[in-house]
Structure 1
Amino acid sequence: MHIAYKFRIYPNPEQQILITKTLGACRFIWNQMLSDKIAHYESTKEMLYNTPARYKEAFSFLNEVDSLALANRQLHLERAFKSFFSKQTSFPNFQARKKDYGYTTNIVNGNIKVLDGFIKLPKLGLVKLKKHRHIPEDYKLRSVTVSKSKTGKYYISILLDYETVISPCEVKTTIGLDFDMTNFYVDSEGNRYAYPESILLDQQKLRRLQSSLSRRYQPNKKQKDQSKNYFKQQHKVAILHERITNKRLDFLHKLSDSIAKTSDSVSIETLDLKQMATSNKHYAKQISRFGWYKFITLLEYKLNRLGKTLVKIDKWYPSSKMCSRCGHLKTELKLSERIYSCEHCRQNMDRDYNAAVNIRNKGLELLKVENLA
């Protein structure tokens, strides 16, 4: 199995320059190869299989950076085309300078080593590393990815291989989760988990900073020719964006980890959040803030690592319209009706709690497990 550890690194000025050059070279090789592929296909209707080595003679600066970083960028481009032809993603886009895509390099003949307080990297040599967590000795290093945030911080993600035997876990405890637009989710036990208030306060502050940034923008000038005050404010916005992202990720990691440890199976509904976002501006803001898809991704891999199961219920399953006690199905249920009142068994309960119970019961049905409630 694979696992990745992310650490912060502190390169010296010379190393920072080389990292910037490598990021630029990787972006250049992606755009150049993509452009040549498009032009070749338009003229011959055939796919061009080009490599970074073809461009090194014409563009000598490519020789200054790690060759494996360029080779990995080629593999990423080929993978993007395969995903496009299999209709999984859209056509590959050109990469912009303002966005950091990082660069990946592989271990060859001991060119990468994690030492005490340092990491040895190709071309860069020893780079100061803040190793805040232990890496088991039996884990084998596979590759590293170097990236730079918009606030000027440098990070490295270390991909490791390890061997383990995962035994399927017997389902003794289970839970159903229903996405809640007001909070975060409601579970089948009736608990509501609200989003951290500190993140909501930071988002209000972000709104004020962005408004201030917008006032500093001079439309008659290019982006690079804006005033110093504009770039200072832009840096403040980037710092707050990063803080919100880190807080959100910390919240999602801790919450998904807690659920994975306490439940043998988790059932969720595969909602079409993009469609929900387009139907209402308020929904779009809430969905983008919460990071529900990220939460599901984290929860799934943590459950699988423990031999547990994440059950995804079809989005057309009428979890909100069905009574969790008798199974009676309502033909119509307005969004404003927050209490589910069953006409058949006279049960009255919170709408989201009722949906979470139905999701849990459907998950048990798909797992062919008797209801544990």
Structure 2
Amino acid sequence: MKKAFKTEIRLTPEQKIKVHQTIGVCRYVYNLYVKTAQDHYKETGKHMSGYDFSKWLNNVYTKEHDPWIKEVSSKAVKQAIMNGDRAFRNFFKGLVQFPRFKKKKHQKVKAYFPKNNLTDLTVERHRIKVPTIGWVQLKEHGYIPTNAAVSSCTISQQADRYFLSVLCEAEGTSSTQINNHEGIGVDLGIQHFAICSHGELFGNINKTDTIKKIEKRLKRLQRKLSRSYEQNKQRKRGEFCAKNRQKMILRVQKLHARLSRIRQAYVRYVIQQLVKTKPLFITIEDLNVQGMMKNRHLAKAIASQGFYTFKQMLAAQCCKHGIELRQVDRWHPSSKLCSCCGEKNVTLRLSDRLFTCASCGIEMDRDVNASLNLKSATAYTILA
């Protein structure tokens, strides 16, 4: 089986320059492909494949306009083109939105380095040999297995930190142990992150003092950065120091990265607690996150919860430990059904936090009732 490992790396000043050049060229080529594919579709009505664009880029464009594109790894440039081609094909299939241009400040572009020679991507305890970059020191020693066959790697930047992600051919580690415990129903929400059918409750990490202080600091710093742009418009050209603005941008990026790491760490903690109970299955609900995000009052709270990240990580851990992951359809009335008698309360509103059954007279928290209904659901889709 293939397994990915991601860890932080330490780069020399020369290696940082090379990585910045590679990421910058990949971003430029991706945006160039998006613009060229748009114009080609408007003129001919047909999609311009990544293979045709790659031939035009190497034979025509680089010779007439930008020869510096060939100064970095050609495989990294090829991968950026294929990423753009995949984005267009997924858009035509109706899976994603229309491809957008990559911005430098978002730092979402990664440099791809495949294995070219036998000595490439050689892993030792404290370092790894990356093609065209050389030996790179690992910040976490011994995390990447030295005996695994590494096929490719990517280098990404987040604020002032650099991360390496490698894809290895590892031995199967999935558990075949039969769990004798009951299943668990997990209801995700905003007031509480997860409410489980076995009585465990996980609160909202975004309501803690740590997150609120970081968000308050981030809000002030973003206002300061916005004022610097406005002040620069009123001054004469050349009077504003660009280095000061870059420092402020870096501070904003660091705070965003810190918030992201705290939230992901909490999601991993919740999944660890669920898997630790060794249930037969875990049932979750297919939430319409895209529709929920249209509510401008709840959009920020929903986005900060990370429901998609939770489902992806939970599926990976369930596959690893031999736990069946079930997903109930989004139209399943888990909150309105009584977990005792099955009677449906059609008058239940979102503001009603207490579920009351008119048939059997039971009263309980609506989220706990939903988790119990998810546990006993019979119509579901198996994700892992």
After TM superposition, list the pairs within 5 Å mapping 1:275-354 onto structure 2.
Answer: 275-281=291-297, 283-354=298-369
Deviations 1:70-123 (A, max 9, x none): 111122122112212221112222222323211111112232222342221222
Q: Give the 3-state SS of the residue equivalent to 1:31 in structure 2.
A: helix
After TM superposition, list the pairs within 5 Å mapping 1:42-61 onto structure 2.
Answer: 42-48=42-48, 49-51=52-54, 52-54=57-59, 55-58=61-64, 59-61=66-68
2:218 equivalent to 1:218: no
Deviation, 1:61, is 1.1
In the superposition, the TM-score normalised over structure 2's length comes to 0.86
2:328 and 2:379 in contact (8 A); partners too: no
Deviates more, 1:124-133 or 1:308-317: 124-133
Q: Quote the residue 1:371 is aligned against.
A: none
Code of the residue aligned with 2:204 in structure 1: it is Y
After TM superposition, list the pairs within 5 Å mapping 1:100-119 onto structure 2.
Answer: 100=107, 101-110=109-118, 111-119=120-128
Q: Quote the residue 2:214 is aligned against.
A: 202
CA RMSD of aligned residues (A): 2.7
2:114 and 2:131 in contact (8 A); partners too: no
2:190 and 2:305 in contact (8 A); partners too: no
Give the distance between the partners of 1:9 and 1:240, measured in 2 at CA: 20
Give the distance between the partners of 2:142 and 2:213, measured in 1 at CA: 30
Deviation, 1:307, is 2.3
After TM superposition, list the pairs within 5 Å mapping 1:231-250 onto structure 2.
Answer: 231-250=246-265
2:126 and 2:142 in contact (8 A); partners too: no
Deviates more, 1:348-357 or 1:131-140: 131-140
Deviations 1:324-344 (A, max 9, x none): 000011121122322111111
Deviations 1:263-301 (A, max 9, x none): 2311111111232232351x2221122112211111111
Deviation, 1:168, is 6.1
Deviation, 1:365, is 5.9
Give the distance between the partners of 2:350 and 2:106, measured in 1 at CA: 39
Q: Quote the residue 2:30 is aligned against.
A: 30
Residue from 152, 176, 179 that aligns with 2:185? 176
CA separation of 1:30 and 1:330: change in aligned 2, threshold 3 A? same
Residue from 68, 71, 74 that aligns with 2:78? 71
2:76 and 2:112 in contact (8 A); partners too: yes
Q: Quote the residue 1:270 is aligned against.
A: 286
Q: Quote the residue 1:20 is aligned against.
A: 20
1:6 and 1:158 in contact (8 A); partners too: yes
Give the distance between the partners of 1:46 and 1:331, measured in 2 at CA: 49
Give the distance between the partners of 1:72 and 1:205, measured in 2 at CA: 38
Deviations 1:316-366 (A, max 9, x none): 11111111000011121122322111111111111111111011111x564
Q: Give the 3-state SS of the residue equivalent to 2:137 in structure 1.
A: strand
Code of the residue aligned with 2:162 in structure 1: it is Y
Deviations 1:165-200 (A, max 9, x none): 757665633111112221212111232211332334
Q: Quote the residue 1:122 is aligned against.
A: 131
In the superposition, the TM-score normalised over structure 1's length comes to 0.88
Q: Give the 3-state SS of the residue equivalent to 2:265 in structure 1.
A: helix
**Identity rate, percent:** 31
Give the distance between the partners of 2:314 and 2:161, measured in 1 at CA: 28
2:364 equivalent to 1:355: no
Deviates more, 1:211-220 or 1:8-17: 211-220
Give the distance between the partners of 1:135 and 1:10, measured in 2 at CA: 15
Deviation, 1:239, is 1.7
Residue from 104, 110, 113 that aligns with 1:97? 104
Q: Quote the residue 1:187 is aligned against.
A: 196
Q: Which runs of 5+ in 2 are unaligned?
A: none
Report runs of 4+ in structure 1 exceeding 6 Å deviation: none
2:274 equivalent to 1:259: yes
Residue from 64, 74, 94 that aligns with 1:87? 94
Code of the residue aligned with 2:105 in structure 1: it is K
Deviation, 1:259, is 1.3
Give the distance between the partners of 1:232 and 1:62, measured in 2 at CA: 28
CA separation of 1:358 and 1:148: change in aligned 2, threshold 3 A? same
CA separation of 1:320 and 1:116: change in aligned 2, threshold 3 A? closer
Q: Give the 3-state SS of the residue equivalent to 1:70 in structure 2.
A: helix
Deviation, 1:255, is 1.7
Give the distance between the partners of 1:183 and 1:204, measured in 2 at CA: 22
Deviates more, 1:24-33 or 1:272-281: 272-281
Deviates more, 1:90-99 or 1:160-169: 160-169
Equivalent pairs, count: 365
